[in-house]
Structure 1
């Protein structure tokens, strides 16, 4: 496909016109870039010439404008929340970071229930055995910090930005962390037992040997994440996106995987006994040596 060719898109009934250059250059790792890179065959409606994508088209103009000029729009908090959901679906990591940054700047200029600031956190981590147990840190930007071994148990971490943060051996027992972003974070041997991470973004994160037992991981994105030897017993992974994730040797006993995307995932030697895989997408997944005794397929 010629990189300058015109593309006609029908997003949930709303029609847009753009180019393959726009769709592939700014966010080269996004779903749209993959679709129009020339590596895949894209189906057009033979009558209209439009390509249909089954998503709400309300905010797609903001997606296109971001791809065109790299500017995050100024929106209400509720619209930012909706746009963030679309950015996560299209796997646009740059836009996700931009939205989180815009929200954090807005919160810094207004009254907030957050008990500590980013500066407070930086001062605290200079001491040993840092604990933020039960503290409200919602909405903070804690990206790129060294928070290894920190205890966040029972804290409120909704929409916290942990992108590229070192959280090796940190404790997140029973935290409330809906919508938080752990993109490319180091989470090796972390404890997330009973944590609520619904809708969190963990794409590219290192979760080797992490303990996610009984965690709510509904709608989470683990695209390309390293989950080797992770403990996921009885975790709720409904609608989770684990495409291309490495789950070699992971324990998924009792995990809920309804409509989970495990396409291309590495499940070699994973423990999947008696797991219901009937509604799980496993195209291209590696299952060599996996324990599938009693699994429902």
Structure 2
């Protein structure tokens, strides 16, 4: 059996076993420690994950026991749910769903507006597109859901999108669209970011793919799509029912 593994999660250290981390192979941790995703380390050689270190305590305990144990006066359920969603631990998400108080909501219309800009650059005889996307919505819940699903790969590290969730009015994303494998070195030298989506961790290679992933995330999150315009370089306005 391999020795203990120490994780640095948002500045907090946790030590556990490889078998615990890969208990759910389809999760982000399972992918990281089964070789499916790149990992980064801190200066002491500990695996580094830039997430909420306090919340990771409950996530790690769930991986150890497959049982969710929370204090009686626990007040941060939304934060824990967001962390569980980031790590894509489906049984934990289901356990969190069961302890949430059911709320009856009246269906309401939701508009999502995607504004897209692209600038073409010639680098080493290759044309690359640097993409700037802003996503606005009448539903803060939908924006938070989308923000939790997209992340960057930058110089071998996985980074959150970085949106301020306390005052979430829109999502701003900037990345470089897909280029040939021969340009991998240029991604490092030019400080280019790759945009990915969880849980598949696919690289977003075009505006059409981005819009398709936005729709998939919204529908899986309980939003019903009513209209889908043809994908173009102009604004994309999508209408959902929540």
- Highest relative contact order (Cα 8 Å, sep 6+), 1 or 2? 2
Q: Normalising to structure 1: TM-score of the pair? A: 0.41
Q: Normalising to structure 2: TM-score of the pair? A: 0.49
| Larger helix proportion of the pair | 2
